[in-house]
Amino acid sequence: MSKPLLRVSRKWVPSTVTLLVSLAILFPIVWLVLSSFKETGELFSYPLAMLPSRFTFVHYRKVIGEGFFGYVFNSLFLAVVGTAITLVISAMCGYALAIYRHEVSYTNLVFGIFLLGTLIPGETLTVPQVTVISELGLYNNIWGVILPVVTTTTGIFMFRQHYLSIPLSFVEAARIDGSNEAQTFLYVMLPLGTSSTVTLAIFSFMWRWNDYILPLLVLSDQKKYTIQIAIKNYIGFNGVDWSSILAASVMSIIPIIILFIILQRYIVGGLSASGVKG
């Protein structure tokens, strides 16, 4: 075997393997998308074919006709507003936990309380959570779905690790220049957090977009429903409307994939900056 050929294979073999692996991982979604264009009868008729014999948009039209865009709009509102609040409060909290660690002796205790949040199976707290939400008058109110979930330990953790990696001398310099604590945070420290910011933004958006149980229990006006509830409603007691469910699922993942593709180049940077250091 000649040398150039070997070099070629050294590059091509790993690349091909990588491509095949990632395509395999993507495959179930491809199958879902292709199936959603099949006619209902074809979904279950053997032999199964990869491609629909005829692309049909009937199921999409049906799901859209049943108000799907309204649910998309609600989910979008929930995700966008929830994400904005998460970013702001997590940055503040993470900043405080990192920057005042020498002056305030109990920062780790406060951090520990937040860490508790990741250990507890959240689903089991849903019922008392909804009790609190209704006591606060937030029942059937979009804020009743947003406020309970905006505090995320992951977000606080990411910002804390980020600010830990920034030399305290930056803060001191700002203070010497005469800026007060709020100004220091806003002008000096907040812009530095961008990579974490974008990463957390994607995560938070995804979590809110995919929430199911809390919106279902808190919202009781169909006009306020989110897409996940809309998808679940096609799973009936006496049978599953597969065609509609496939079309609705496909439509539910499009916005989040688009958002991810736009912002993805920040994600890796953000996570590595979050202090998961090798």
Site for another protein in 88-127 (CB under 8 A): 88-90, 92-93, 95-97, 100, 103-104, 107, 110, 113-114, 116-125, 127
Q: Does 32 bind another protein (CB under 8 A)?
A: yes
The nearer residue to another protein, 55 or 125, going by C-beta atoms, is 125
Are the C-beta atoms of 229 and 71 separated by less than 8 Å? yes
CA 28, 32, 38, 41 torsion: positive or negative? Answer: positive
Q: Does 236 bind another protein (CB under 8 A)?
A: yes
Q: Does 51 bind another protein (CB under 8 A)?
A: no
- Record the tokens describing residue 46, joined without a space: 């053997």
**x/- contact string, 179-208, with another protein (CB under 8 A)?**
--xx--x-----x-xxx-xx--x----x--
Which residue type, as a one-letter code, is found at position 128?
P
The nearer residue to another protein, 56 or 194, going by C-beta atoms, is 194
- Pick from 8, 132, 173, 186 the residue near another protein by CB under 8 A: 132
Minimum gap (Å) between residue 2 Cβ and another protein:
19
The nearer residue to another protein, 64 or 110, going by C-beta atoms, is 110
Q: What angle do CA 208, 161, 167 make, to 5 degrees?
A: 140
Minimum gap (Å) between residue 1 Cβ and another protein:
18
Q: Does 128 bind another protein (CB under 8 A)?
A: yes
CB atoms within 10 A of CB 226: 28
Q: Does 145 bind another protein (CB under 8 A)?
A: no
- Pick from 4, 41, 167, 178 the residue near another protein by CB under 8 A: 41
Minimum gap (Å) between residue 14 Cβ and another protein:
5
Q: Does 210 bind another protein (CB under 8 A)?
A: yes
Q: Does 28 bind another protein (CB under 8 A)?
A: yes
- Pick from 164, 166, 188, 267 the residue near another protein by CB under 8 A: 267
Q: Does 48 bind another protein (CB under 8 A)?
A: yes
Please state, in angstroms and rounded to a whole number, the distance separating the CA atoms of residues 117 and 133.
18
- Pick from 200, 209, 215, 247 the residue near another protein by CB under 8 A: 209
Please state, in angstroms and rounded to a whole number, the distance separating the CA atoms of residues 278 and 276.
7
Beta-sheet strands, E only, within the chain: 235-236, 239-240
Please state, in angstroms and rounded to a whole number, the distance separating the CA atoms of residues 138 and 141.
5
Long-range contacts of 217-222 (CB under 8 A, 24+ apart): 217/126, 217/130, 218/130, 218/133, 218/138, 218/139, 218/140, 218/141, 218/144, 218/145, 219/140, 219/142, 219/144, 219/145, 220/139, 220/140, 221/140, 222/67
- Record the tokens describing residue 214, joined without a space: 């809390």
Q: Does 272 bind another protein (CB under 8 A)?
A: yes
Are the C-beta atoms of 178 and 240 separated by less than 8 Å? no
- Pick from 64, 70, 80, 188 the residue near another protein by CB under 8 A: 80
Q: Does 14 bind another protein (CB under 8 A)?
A: yes
